[in-house]
Amino acid sequence: MKRSYRVMIIDDEESARKLLRALVNWDEIGMEVVGEAASGIEAINVIDELKPDIVFVDISMPFMNGIEFTEVATERYPNLVIIIMTAIDQFEYARKCVSLPVFEYMLKPMVRAEVLKTLKRAGEKLDKNRVAYIEAEEEAEYTISENDTVEVIRKYIEDNFTDPKLNLAFAAQHFGFSSSYLSRKFKQETGKNFVEYLTELRMKKAIKLASEGVKMFRTSSEVGIPDPNYFGRCFKKYTGMSYSEYTAKEND
C-alpha cells in the first residue's frame, strides 16, 4: 500500500492557507495536510510534532521569513521536501537563493494544476528516499549511559530555552542523535515529551515576567518565541487566560 505523505502549510495569511487546503483533494493523491503555521518561528516550534514530509512555505513572513526558515529546516531535516511560495515581485529574489535545496518555487496565487504536478513529483521523490531512510534508522545504534545523557540534555535545554531556534531536531543534531531516538528516550526518562518540557520552561519565565507587568512583545522575545501571536496562543493554552488578562489579574 502506498504511503500517505504529510503536508504542512506555512503562511502568515490565513486566507492563503485555507485556499491551498481547498485547492487539492489530498486523500485522492495519498497526502494529508497535518497542520499549519503563521510564521517561521511557529513552524520551528511545531514541526517536530507534525512530522511533515512536504512543506509549503511563503517567502514573505514576519519574525522568520521563508528563506530563513528554509535555511534552518534544510540543515535539520535533510529529507524534507520544501516548496517555496512567492508573489511575482519576489520571484527573482527567491530564485537567487539557489544554494538552498528547495524542491520548487511556485507563484502565488496558486494554480491547482501546477500544485498537483509539483505534488506528484514530490511524492515520487519521497517514494525513492523512503527505503534508504528506513534502513538508516534501523541500523542506528546508540551505546550511551541514557540517564546521564538525558540529564545533560535537560541542562542544555534549561540553559538555551530562550533561543528561538531551539527545538527537538536542533538538540538532537547538537548531541549527535536522531530526532526519533532523542524524543523516545527523553519521554522515557522525564515523563514529558521534548516540546512540552521546552514550552513549560518558556511559559514559567513568561508568567514571571507577566507578574512583573512586562509588555507581551518584550516577554515573547525574552522567552524565545518572538512571534507575539504564536506566543499569545501558547500562553493562553498553558495558563487558561490571555496575557493581558493575566497581567491585569497579577497587577491589580
Q: For the residues of 173-201, what is the DSSP string, one character each?
A: HHHT--HHHHHHHHHHHHSS-HHHHHHHH
Q: The domain 144-252 belongs to what CATH superfamily?
A: Homeodomain-like (1.10.10.60)
Q: The domain 5-139 belongs to what CATH superfamily?
A: Response regulator (3.40.50.2300)
Query: Over the stretch 90-101, which tens digit does the pLDDT of each residue have?
Result: 777 767 666 788
Where does the chain hold its CATH 1.10.10.60 domain(s)? 144-252
Q: Which residues contact 172 (CB under 8 A, 6 or more apart)?
A: 178, 179, 181, 182, 183
Give pLDDT, residue 132. 64
In 3D space, the residue among 201, 202, 184 whose CA is nearest the CA of residue 193 turns out to be: 184
Give pLDDT, residue 1. 40
What is the pTM (predicted TM-score) of this model? Answer: 0.89
Give pLDDT, residue 52. 97
pLDDT in tens, the chain (252 residues): 456 899 999 999 999 999 999 999 999 999 999 999 999 999 999 999 999 999 999 999 998 989 899 999 999 999 999 999 988 777 777 676 667 889 999 999 999 999 999 999 999 999 988 886 655 554 444 544 555 788 899 999 999 999 999 999 999 999 888 898 899 889 988 999 999 999 999 999 999 999 999 999 999 999 999 999 999 999 999 999 999 999 988 877
Query: Over the stretch 145-166, which tens digit does the pLDDT of each residue have?
Result: 555 788 899 999 999 999 999 9
On whether the CB atoms of residues 10 and 36 are closer than 8 A, the answer is: yes
Where does the chain hold its CATH 3.40.50.2300 domain(s)? 5-139
**Rounded to an integer, what distance in angstroms lies between the CA atom of residue 54 and that of residue 51?**
9
Q: For the residues of 96-139, what is the DSSP string, one character each?
A: H-TTS--SEEEESSP-HHHHHHHHHHHHHHHHHHHHHHHHHHHH
Q: Report how far apart, in Å, the C-alpha atoms of 67 and of each of 83, 127, 198 are.
A: 11, 26, 25
